[in-house]
Structure 1
Amino acid sequence: MHLIGRRWEQLKLLGDYLGLCRSGALKELSKRFSVADLQQMANGVHKGFLKTLIEFASQHVYHCDLCTQRGFICQICQQHDIIFPFEFDTTVRCAECKTIFHQSCQAVVKKGCPHCARRRKYQEQNVFA
């Protein structure tokens, strides 16, 4: 995926967090960034602006008690650091169940998604029980 496509995908995922946040993050966003800015960005004029928008939104998510509660714990290493689906440089997302893992953990396991494996095992147990 090219850089602009990656950033649009990150912004979409961040928008999912901001859209559900009751803190007023979207109102704050609208104060900082005008509709004209967003339109120019959509037309490819403000490529750097897209990065600024992502940085603003991600900083909100990282520091908001409401948004961080919607983060994930890596199902492989079980570390307590919260990970998010928009962290493309450090996380990977299962295409099937959408569970988020550290890239380094997924690279070590290499046998697929443990969440999907547990789900399949549970389904098999229920079929043969």
Structure 2
Amino acid sequence: MVDYSKWDKLDVSDDEEEQGSKPKVHSFDTAQSVTFGGGAQGISVGSLPSGPTEDEQDDEPMEPDDETLQEPGDHREDVLQCRGLAERALHRGDHEEAIRLLEKAMALGGASCPGLEDDLRRARRL
């Protein structure tokens, strides 16, 4: 048999537990400054690189081959690649290229891709 009498003599109440978990917040009347590491090291503010990084350059969308249209399988990545290229073509003002790429994406199974049909209709109106 288990003796639970020792649990009756605990000093901590439920109210004290709740108070201990509350964050302690202080308001300041003036602006404050914080020094990290004792101020021994200086912090320099740098700017972002002006051009794309190596990782970004490798992540360029590529148009899938026309032979891909006949291959069965999952073409979701190809649909997204065509859509990305079509968006770039629209930004450049090349509407014919954008329509061609969006139609190719639809042929690859892009009808299930949300918003692709709307993009194609929009590109045809331009």
Bigger share in strand = 1
- Kindly indicate which of the two structures has a greater share of residues assigned to helix: 1
TM-score (norm 1): 0.24
TM-score, scaled to structure 2? 0.24
> Greater Rg, structure 1 or structure 2?
2
Higher RCO (C-alpha under 8 Å, 6+ residues apart): 1
